[in-house]
Chains A and B, each alone.
Chain A
Amino acid sequence: MSAGFERLEDVVLDDLFPDVDLALRRGRHVGREDGLMYGFLNDAHDHLEPFYRRFGAELVHKSDGYFYLLPSSGGLGRGHLSAGEMLVGQAMALLYLDPDSLLHGGVVSRELVLQRLESLVGQEDLVRVLHPRLRKVDERVAAETVRTRFGRALRALADLGFVDLVGDDGLRLRPALMRFAEPVRSAGDPAQALALLVARGELELAAAEDAAVEEPEEDGEA
């Protein structure tokens, strides 16, 4: 029994419930940074876990300090991150682990994330993944496209609670980024860890060529 709530009815009647419920159903990762919402989930966890199970979803609480909803059957709508979001998320997870991020309390610049991504993935692969339909373009157009898609991925990840946008250029990294490192969290075989996570419904595998064919065709963003 949770400390804060006697019955599920009390949880549902709480002022915070609608916001928390909608956020979770939209895929948001609710962390300590979310203050009251995180506290509410902590208090109501025992009631909400069976509540969401009835919808075919698991309310996951990670020791890194965040909650999220993982749909296991068809009750709730489910989705997965796009290729661009996956690349940007992993680059930010890498920066989250970097001690240099301590200098400014976990705030890094967008440029740093993009630089790190480019150095690890390579410019060509980055363009191919972020904009697969782009063929034979000059370097300037490619760079502009990458920045546009990168910005779009960042906004999506911010909506999902992986990162906070700070001012025009800053990003506050959140512990939920550690989800991107789950397949390599343990020192064992990464392929085996990946298979286990797929079996648990945490991940979806995609063919290599599919990784680059899911970005919606929208332009005109800066």
Chain B
Amino acid sequence: MSGAPGSNERSSPQVGSDPNTLIASLARDSVTLDLGTYHLCCLAGLHLRANRATIASFGDEEIVDLFEQVCDIVEPGADNPRKRATHAIQRLRDQRMLVRVDGAGVARAGEYAMTRLAAAVVESYLNDEVLTRESLTLLTRTLLAHLAEVKAAAARADSRQAWTDGVIGPLNVTIGELIHGIDRRRRGLDASQEQVQAEIAGLIKADWFRAVDEAQSLLDVTTATLHELNEVLLRDTHHFVALLQEVQDLAEAAGMREAQEACQQVIEHVDGIANWGDARQRTWSAYYQYVHRYLRDVVRLDPDRALSQRLRDQLAAWTRHPFHLRLARSPSLRLLRDVSARVDRPAVTRERAEREHPPVDVAIGSDEVDLEALVRRALGDGASTLAEVTSAVLAHVPVDQHFRSTGRVAALVARLARPSGERERPWVAVADAIEIEQWAIPAQGRRA
């Protein structure tokens, strides 16, 4: 595995770590796995040789010889097998399948060992580990014995070291390995079930009626196996969980949080296995019923397999000679509404309204007379601009009338004097919130 140097061992997923973090770290390390048939066969050759000779590592020359032999088998007549073997070593090292263990650099020929990853890959191809009643019983008994030991160790543990050596260590390593053993074989059983399904379909397809007994027997064997496995799982997982909970209680009493967590992890794994057994049993039961019915209703009743052909002909000709299946089709119950007399709905019309209001007499206020007098006085006092007149007048007018009065002052000035304006008239403030355009009032222009 792995593209980034050292990423293989460093990034190995830890049970219980956050999956998102683990996946992100794998992506960060750009892990890849790219092996061809030849390289996998080379690894298989190494694995088999190591097992037979009980050796852990191989010399450089030994590996090259072995890979040459593999090349002769996989690709007989290939050019320069020795060169290919040398390249294969490099590729397997790049892929973290082989690791150099002598640490001697270029001083002498290397010594290589297979990595854990390489062993797992090869084992998945070579070992057909499937869960059987025997293997499961063996595993569960061993597991029970180890759990009993762990429980005893937890009961007498009186120090942190005792908890680590007697409980946490065995839970993480021994118990964990045994449970992974069940897990691995469980996947093997899943794969084998899929094969059985494909085999049954293939048998019926090839031999139809003659394959009924064989298919039935395959069905029965797998059903019996699953039934037995589920029985063992149901019985033993209950014991596992009971023992683990006892250990967890002891850990809680001793305040050993790490031991509690280790127990919890194992309990979750055990629950997962029990759920798997249950789910497989149900799925297989549905499949069994379907196939059993198919064999009985379809194959046995049509031993010559002529019905399919007749139905195919019927379908092809249906558009020329159509027919339709008849069936019951009662409408849903109807709920009747309450009886009500018919009401004539009035036509939609616009509301009529008098939009023209008659004029209203309003008494003329006395302020206008005052305004004229004030303007005259301001002009008489020598005001030379409209702003000066307006400011002088507004000083005597209530604030709420400033705006209206400003316009009237301008009108009065225009009438009483002869103001002149520049082309660009500046704006001048005459009150807090009012600005007006400036007019000049020449002295000779004042009529007042």
Q: Chain B, 131-142, contact with A by CB distance < 8 Å: what is the 0/1 string?
A: 000000000000
A133 at the interface (CB under 8 A from B): no
Interface pair B311/A90, CB less than 8 Å apart: yes
Interface pair B327/A204, CB less than 8 Å apart: no
Q: A65-B293, A99-B205 are in contact. Are A121 and B315 (CB under 8 A)?
A: yes
Interface pair B326/A208, CB less than 8 Å apart: no
Q: Chain B, 306-339, contact with A by CB distance < 8 Å: what is the 0/1 string?
A: 1110111111101111111111111100000000
* Complex contacts, A181 vs chain B, CB 8 Å: 307, 310-311, 314
Interface pair A203/B197, CB less than 8 Å apart: no
* Complex contacts, B329 vs chain A, CB 8 Å: 26-27, 77-79
Interface pair B326/A71, CB less than 8 Å apart: yes
Interface pair A205/B328, CB less than 8 Å apart: no
Within 8 A of B (CB), among A1-52: 24-27, 32
Distance (whole angstroms) from the CB of A203 to the closest CB of chain B? 5
Interface pair A202/B286, CB less than 8 Å apart: no
* Complex contacts, B306 vs chain A, CB 8 Å: 187
User: Which of B312, B321, B324 is A94 in contact with, Cβ under 8 Å?
Assistant: B312
B298 at the interface (CB under 8 A from A): yes
* Complex contacts, B322 vs chain A, CB 8 Å: 83, 86, 205-208, 210-211
Which of these binds chain B: A102-110, A138-146, A147-155? A102-110
A158 at the interface (CB under 8 A from B): no
Q: A69-B328, A78-B328 are in contact. Are A121 and B316 (CB under 8 A)?
A: yes
Distance (whole angstroms) from the CB of B333 to the closest CB of chain A? 9
Within 8 A of B (CB), among A57-82: 57, 63-65, 68-71, 76-82
Interface pair B287/A105, CB less than 8 Å apart: yes
* Complex contacts, A128 vs chain B, CB 8 Å: 319
Interface pair B319/A105, CB less than 8 Å apart: no
A165 at the interface (CB under 8 A from B): no
User: Which of B297, B311, B318, B323 is A203 in contact with, Cβ under 8 Å?
Assistant: B323
Interface pair B200/A97, CB less than 8 Å apart: no
Query: What's the tally of chain A residues with a CB closer than 8 Å to chain B?
Result: 68
Q: Chain A, 95-139, contact with B by CB distance < 8 Å: what is the 0/1 string?
A: 011111111111000000000000011000100110000000000
Distance (whole angstroms) from the CB of A158 to the closest CB of chain B? 14
Interface pair B314/A90, CB less than 8 Å apart: yes
Q: A79-B329, A90-B311, A97-B298 are in contact. Are A102 and B204 (CB under 8 A)?
A: yes
Closest to B198 in A: A103
Within 8 A of B (CB), among A142-197: 160, 175, 178-181, 183-185, 187, 190, 194
B294 at the interface (CB under 8 A from A): yes
Q: How far is the CA of A70 from the CA of B291 in the complex (A)?
A: 29
Interface pair B325/A102, CB less than 8 Å apart: no
Distance (whole angstroms) from the CB of A188 to the closest CB of chain B? 10
Closest to B315 in A: A90
Q: Could you list 21 examples of A-B contacts with CB < 8 Å?
A: A25-B330, A27-B328, A32-B293, A68-B328, A71-B326, A77-B329, A77-B331, A79-B327, A83-B322, A83-B324, A86-B322, A96-B298, A97-B298, A99-B205, A102-B291, A125-B319, A181-B307, A181-B311, A184-B310, A207-B322, A208-B322
User: Which of A24, A69, A125, A204 is B323 in contact with, Cβ under 8 Å?
Assistant: A204
Query: What's the tally of chain B residues with a CB closer than 8 Å to chain A?
Result: 41
Closest to A27 in B: B327
B74 at the interface (CB under 8 A from A): no
Closest to B325 in A: A81
Q: How far is the CA of A187 from the CA of B310 in the complex (A)?
A: 8
Q: How far is the CA of A61 from the CA of B283 in the complex (A)?
A: 27
Interface pair A87/B315, CB less than 8 Å apart: yes
Interface pair A183/B325, CB less than 8 Å apart: no
Interface pair A194/B290, CB less than 8 Å apart: no
Q: How far is the CA of A100 from the CA of B174 in the complex (A)?
A: 44
* Complex contacts, B291 vs chain A, CB 8 Å: 102, 105
* Complex contacts, B200 vs chain A, CB 8 Å: 102
Interface pair B328/A77, CB less than 8 Å apart: yes
B201 at the interface (CB under 8 A from A): yes
Interface pair B325/A89, CB less than 8 Å apart: yes
Interface pair B325/A105, CB less than 8 Å apart: no
User: Which of A81, A86, A184 is B307 in contact with, Cβ under 8 Å?
Assistant: A184
Distance (whole angstroms) from the CB of A168 to the closest CB of chain B? 20
User: Which of A69, A100, A120, A178 is B205 in contact with, Cβ under 8 Å?
Assistant: A100
Distance (whole angstroms) from the CB of A171 to the closest CB of chain B? 13
User: Which of B287, B290, B294, B312 is A120 in contact with, Cβ under 8 Å?
Assistant: B312
Q: How far is the CA of A24 from the CA of B330 in the complex (A)?
A: 9
Interface pair B316/A78, CB less than 8 Å apart: no
User: Which of B289, B316, B327 is A80 in contact with, Cβ under 8 Å?
Assistant: B327
Distance (whole angstroms) from the CB of B292 to the closest CB of chain A? 11
Closest to B298 in A: A97
Interface pair A203/B320, CB less than 8 Å apart: no
Interface pair B311/A69, CB less than 8 Å apart: no
* Complex contacts, B327 vs chain A, CB 8 Å: 27, 68-71, 78-81, 160
* Complex contacts, A96 vs chain B, CB 8 Å: 298
Distance (whole angstroms) from the CB of A210 to the closest CB of chain B? 7
Interface pair B330/A97, CB less than 8 Å apart: no
| New contact pairs (11) apart from A32-B289, A64-B297, A79-B329, CB-CB < 8 Å | A69-B327, A69-B328, A71-B327, A97-B307, A102-B201, A103-B201, A120-B312, A179-B325, A184-B314, A201-B326, A203-B323
* Complex contacts, A207 vs chain B, CB 8 Å: 322
Q: A64-B297, A105-B287, A105-B291 are in contact. Are A183 and B326 (CB under 8 A)?
A: no
